Structure 1
Amino acid sequence: MRTIKVDAVLVQAVIAAALSFAHLHDLAAAAGQSGWKAWAYPISVDLLMVAAWRRLRSGSTPVMAWSWFLIALFASLGANVATAGLLDLDSPPAWLRVLVAGWPALAFLGGSLLAHTPTAETPTEPTPTVPDPGPVAEPAPDPIPKPDPAPALDPAPAPVAVPATPVVPAALVDHARKIAAEHQARTGARMDADALRARLGVPPAMAHAIAVQLT
């Protein structure tokens, strides 16, 4: 269950406001304001005091705010003192009737000035403008290093063509040997490679290889 705490300051303020409200009502009624008009006077005084106090709290137009705050405070305090027996409320003086009758116009003027006077704005220092440095140039990429040219080399000498020695089957060598022996027996001279090529019908290289083996 939530506990209700009583604030002594707030209670005292409510009591003081109620007493001041009643004194203003009694003074207005004694000055000839009857009915609802007598109740409107304390409301007008309190609202003017609150409006002046709010303007003071905002820190703007302090002279005007203090002036209307003191006027409302004097009206409230004067009503409290007047109802203490200093004045005969059964036959109030004429100046009191004049003040009470002129209060609505005075309160309307003060409330309008407090509500519609523009508040003074606190000047702010201009923010220093920093010049635009412009677009930042990006660093150029490093160039791709080119490979060093290869040193010039002397051209290699062309290989000497060596004729491949064909492989001669052994049977072909034996057959060629017989033919060479017949040729030598018939002519008395050795059979050369050209004669072997013509008799055997083989390429010149093979005929040369057979003649080498026959020597």
Structure 2
Amino acid sequence: MPETDPRGAPTVARLPRRPDAVLVQAVIAGALSFAHLHDIAAAAGQDGWKAWAYPVSVDLLLVAAWRRMRTLRATGAPARSAWTWFATALTASLGANIATAGLLDLAAVPAWLRILVAGWPAVAFFGGTLLAHTPTGTTEAEPADTPDSVYAEQDPEPEPVTPPPPAPALPPAPVSSAPPVPAALVEHARKVADDHRARTGTPIDTATLRARLGVTPQLADAIAARLQPA
């Protein structure tokens, strides 16, 4: 049966931790490179704490350049500057390792090596500053001020609605201009017309009828129309 803790919950067996071979190898290689750089700096006249600061400076520049290369690659930005400083720090570290392999007399260091060691702080400071302030390309550009014309195009003001033209009015119905004629006046006019026919043998005309009746021309026309045979 599985083991349980005092509260009754099953316990998980813990495996013993094993040292990571890659990590151990990295620590050993870093320590040896650190010691070689210290020895070269001390042989070039940088004694005391300064000799210990040189390997720290070289390794930090190497790590910073490597991290900057990975960041620039991830964003798709060019990494030529980071590669340059990575190669510079790697050359300084590798050169110190090779120089301490017996190819260089550390008791009589040449002048050119003393110059390189003495000038390294300025080179490392310059490289570290450039790496720290190199843009990674992930900063989003701030939106530029949008002109009013763009907003006018996106949200135009509504055009005034023109009402449709009114429908044409129907022409008024024609109104008869003939005045009303009383029936008594019509009968009187008929007697006048009959009398005129009896005396002259011709039908009475409108002008004679108007003169005999003493009416207006419009009323005379209306009476003449009533006297016409159907």
Unmatched 5+ stretches in structure 2: 1-13, 142-153, 156-230
Check conservation: 1:55, 1:61, Cα contact below 8 A: no
Deviation at 1:118, TM superposition (A): 1.3
Check conservation: 1:23, 1:80, Cα contact below 8 A: yes
Deviation at 1:89, TM superposition (A): 0.5
Equivalence for 2:144:
none
User: Does residue 1:87 correspond to 2:104, yes or no?
Assistant: yes
Unmatched 5+ stretches in structure 1: 125-130, 133-215
Aligned residues: 127
Deviation at 1:4, TM superposition (A): 1.4
Deviation at 1:121, TM superposition (A): 3.3
- Describe the superposition over 1:105-140 as per-residue Cα deviations: whole angstroms up to 9, x where unpaired: 00000000000111123989xxxxxx99xxxxxxxx
Runs of 4+ in 1 over 6 A off after TM superposition: none
- The amino acid that maps onto 2:107 is D
Equivalence for 1:105:
122
CA change 1:62–1:115 in 2 (3 A) is same
% identical aligned pairs: 71
Cα distance in 1 between the residues matched to 2:78 and 2:87: 14
| TM-score, with length taken from structure 2 | 0.52
Cα distance in 2 between the residues matched to 1:61 and 1:121: 13
| TM-score, with length taken from structure 1 | 0.56
Check conservation: 1:61, 1:119, Cα contact below 8 A: no
Equivalence for 1:32:
45
Equivalence for 1:75:
92
Cα distance in 2 between the residues matched to 1:2 and 1:25: 40
- Describe the superposition over 1:37-59 as per-residue Cα deviations: whole angstroms up to 9, x where unpaired: 00000000000001000011112
Cα distance in 2 between the residues matched to 1:2 and 1:40: 40
